[in-house]
Amino acid sequence: MADFFWFSDDQWARIEPLLPNDTRGMPRVDDRRVLSGIVQALKSGGRWGDCPEHVYGPKKTLYNRFRRWAERGVWERIFAQLAGVDGVPERLFIDSSCIKVHRTAGGAKGGPWLMVSASPKVAGTPNSTPSATRRAARTSSC
């Protein structure tokens, strides 16, 4: 399991008491296995199919647990509890997004796009059935 994420014994000892234990019906699939799979999926860009079933279990189980616990606020409680622990964390993660666009999208070639203002439209000839939004925009004192 060296290539896949797996919670260490120390990490799991901190997380396990924070998990909900109010389940009814059939026993839950092993929490450590499923949560390790959820972290693996999130590390790979949220692709549940990238989690090998023989390591983490069915991707449907991973997705369902993630979604249900998100709806119940379980993740927020776990993160708040773990973030409140004293000491310097072993690891810190910073997430950022980068979007590639075509060079003309920023106005590099051919100059910037002409931005059309809403004011000429508001002052223009009204339609046969003016909307309440336009009427409010004309009478607004903002």
Q: 22-52, pLDDT tens digit by residue?
A: 777 788 888 999 999 999 898 888 788 888 8
Residue whose token pair is 């997705």: 63
> Under 8 Å CB-to-CB from 28, ≥6 apart: which residues?
34
Which structure tokens are listed for 5?
A: 């994420």
Residue 35: per-residue pLDDT = 92
Rounded to a whole number, what is the largest CA-CA distance in the chain? 72
Q: Which residues of the chain have pLDDT under 50?
A: 1-2
| C-alpha to C-alpha distance for 132 and 129, rounded to whole angstroms | 9
Assigned token pair, 43: 């590390």
DSSP class of 73? T
Burial class (CB in 10 A: 0-12, 13-18, 19+), 62: buried
Question: pLDDT at position 49, please?
Answer: 84
Which residue carries 């990490």 as its tokens?
Answer: 11
pTM exceeds 0.85 for this model: no
